[in-house]
């Protein structure tokens, strides 16, 4: 064996390792878009696929809107004061105990109408004619208003749990969509299998 054969063998080994490494990196770069394409598209999510909503950036008293199945869904992080305001005005509400079962899943049949009282998830569509109620969280005792949602089109009012007031055009409470907590700071809207 000559010195030239030793050099050739180390070059071959280097070229083999370099080719395998380049191939592995290339395969990884090709696999990432392919695997990403398996996730549902934004259009598919809007048509019905469950939507994940991260909760970490929502401050107490703040509400965000997301789209699910072509509908606006409100996610409100209620403060302790907001939760306290749910008590004491049942006489003013049309369905304070959420007895219309089509309006919420079984796990949301409670005073807060939620899985975890701090977070309220509602379809933002008035049950009268489908208008979008606006948030009006300011307390106005002179108007007997403890905050909630107001539909400016026809005057329907809902409390901070989406329960409808008496004497307004809306016949039922705002709808609570199926949802579950994947973790403490992540909600999956559109699927409630395994809801706590």
Q: Which residues are catalytic?
A: 154
CA distance 116 to 3: 75
Contacts of 87 (CB under 8 A, 6+ apart): 111
CA distance 74 to 148: 12
Q: Which long-range contacts (CB under 8 A, 24 or more apart) does 132-139 make?
A: 132/72, 133/158, 133/174, 135/63, 135/74, 135/76, 137/61, 137/82, 139/85
Phi, psi of 56 (to 5 degrees): -60, -30
């Amino acid at each position: 064996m000559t010195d030239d054969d030793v050099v050739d063998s180390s070059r071959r080994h280097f070229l083999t390792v370099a080719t395998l490494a380049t191939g592995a990196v290339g395969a990884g770069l090709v696999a990432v878009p392919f695997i990403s394409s398996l996730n549902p598209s934004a259009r598919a999510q809007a048509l019905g696929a469950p939507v994940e909503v991260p909760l970490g950036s929502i401050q107490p008293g703040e509400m965000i809107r997301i789209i699910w199945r072509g509908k606006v869904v409100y996610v409100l992080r209620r403060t302790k004061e907001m939760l306290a305001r749910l008590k004491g005005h049942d006489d003013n509400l049309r369905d304070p105990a959420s007895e219309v079962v089509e309006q919420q899943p079984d796990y949301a049949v409670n005073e807060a109408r939620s899985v975890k009282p701090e977070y309220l998830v509602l379809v933002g569509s008035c049950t009268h004619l489908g208008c979008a109620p606006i948030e009006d969280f300011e307390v106005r005792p002179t108007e007997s208003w403890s905050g909630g949602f107001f539909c400016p089109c026809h005057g329907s009012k809902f409390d901070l749990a989406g329960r409808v007031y008496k004497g307004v055009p809306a016949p039922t409470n705002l709808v609570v969509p199926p949802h579950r907590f994947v973790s403490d700071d992540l909600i999956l809207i559109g699927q409630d299998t395994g809801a706590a």
